[in-house]
Structure 1
Amino acid sequence: MIYVLCGKELKNGQAIRVYRNIRKKLFSIQDKKTRRLIAYADSLLLTDVEMKIVQSGQIRTRKERQKNIHAFIVGTYIESNKKSASESPNWKRVFYNPYNTDTFIDLESGKPVYSALSSYLVDGKCFVITEEC
């Protein structure tokens, strides 16, 4: 479910950046251009995805041992439902741990992931399709 903030708008095809909101246990969605918060979601689907990590924020997190917002999934929002998005067998789980990794990492192979064709964010986890099948 997507919770759009009052006076804000989230449209199909909109460029957004997303981060995991630990306190709300949801994904926070920002407009890519303005970087203003526009919505929260428990799941969403993106295309043309890039994984962005702000290095200064990563360094600060490691130094202070306190998490801050510095890692984003950037892409184009696509309206979908959970069932259709989760049916593809090609999703690979990726993760990012600011204390142990410098980039988003493919859970199976251990290789860095910098971009993907699609990303499905659900239950605090990130799944990607990195190549066409």
Structure 2
Amino acid sequence: MLQQYFIELGEGYGDIFELVELMKTNQKRLHRTFIFSSNTNGGQAISLAAVFHPAQDSKFMPIYICREGIKQIDDKKSKRRVLFEKAAEEVGQEPIFIELKHSSEFADHRLFYQYITGILRLNHLVPPLQ
């Protein structure tokens, strides 16, 4: 059974660089990239994510995410978001923008990730459970 699992990276610059490096070094496995936006007090919280096809015969489809680490107060994109978008473009991807509930609205981060997985599956952005 193919399952998607979130692997949470941190929220800082170094974590964005790690996500970008994963995208570049695993370009052949890269399935899709995402920018998730959530409304917060005083602006938006941006999450960046990359989904990869399973390695070899694995049934594990990793989704690496930098969760809500980028605060956006106006329409100006942050340097981290621009870096992510540029890297995605370099590997032939255009990040898909999705508006979500903020993770603080969920009792546990696992529920938040189940919520995102459901949205991605319903919109055929990741494969369904098989």
* TM-score scaled by length of structure 1: 0.29
Of structures 1 and 2, the one with the larger relative CO (CA 8 A, separation 6+) is: 2
Instruction: Considering fraction of residues, name the structure with more strand.
Output: 1
Instruction: Considering fraction of residues, name the structure with more helix.
Output: 2
* TM-score scaled by length of structure 2: 0.29
